[in-house]
Amino acid sequence: MKSISKSITRITAALALTLGLTFAAGTAQAASISGEVKKIDESAGKITLKHGPAKSLGMDEPMTMVYRVKDPAWLKQVKVGDKVTFEAEEVASGYTVTKMEKAK
């Protein structure tokens, strides 16, 4: 009987871990925002992005916004007109792009 109880406990723990990882992956995916590069200001470390709704930032409507970038090197990897996917967060000084890559 102890063996069955241990097996059930292990299965339950594995299932909980799997569900937790699946939820985390789904949440991370939902945070990605699709956009288009409109302007790049390397000297200021900023990028202007036209994007759809950004639910992770509480923005329900499409808009064009200026963002700071966490890594200024990203600004050399894109040009005006490029489609990108990005993640951003709100900080005291405004919004900062925390992850960005060209859309595939």
Written as six digits, the tokens of 64 are 């064009």
Tell me: pLDDT of 21 over 90. no
Full-model pTM: 0.70
The structural domains of the chain, with segments of one domain joined by +, span 1-31, 33-102
Going by pLDDT thresholds of 50, 70 and 90, the confidence category of residue 25 is very low
Predicted local distance difference test score (pLDDT) of residue 93: 86
CATH class given for the domain over 33-102: mainly beta
Q: Which residues have C-beta within 8 Å of that of residue 85, sequence separation ≥ 6?
A: 32, 33, 34, 35, 100, 101, 103
Quick: pLDDT tens for 75-99.
999 999 999 999 999 988 899 999 9
Among 31, 30, 69, residue whose Cα is nearest residue 49: 69
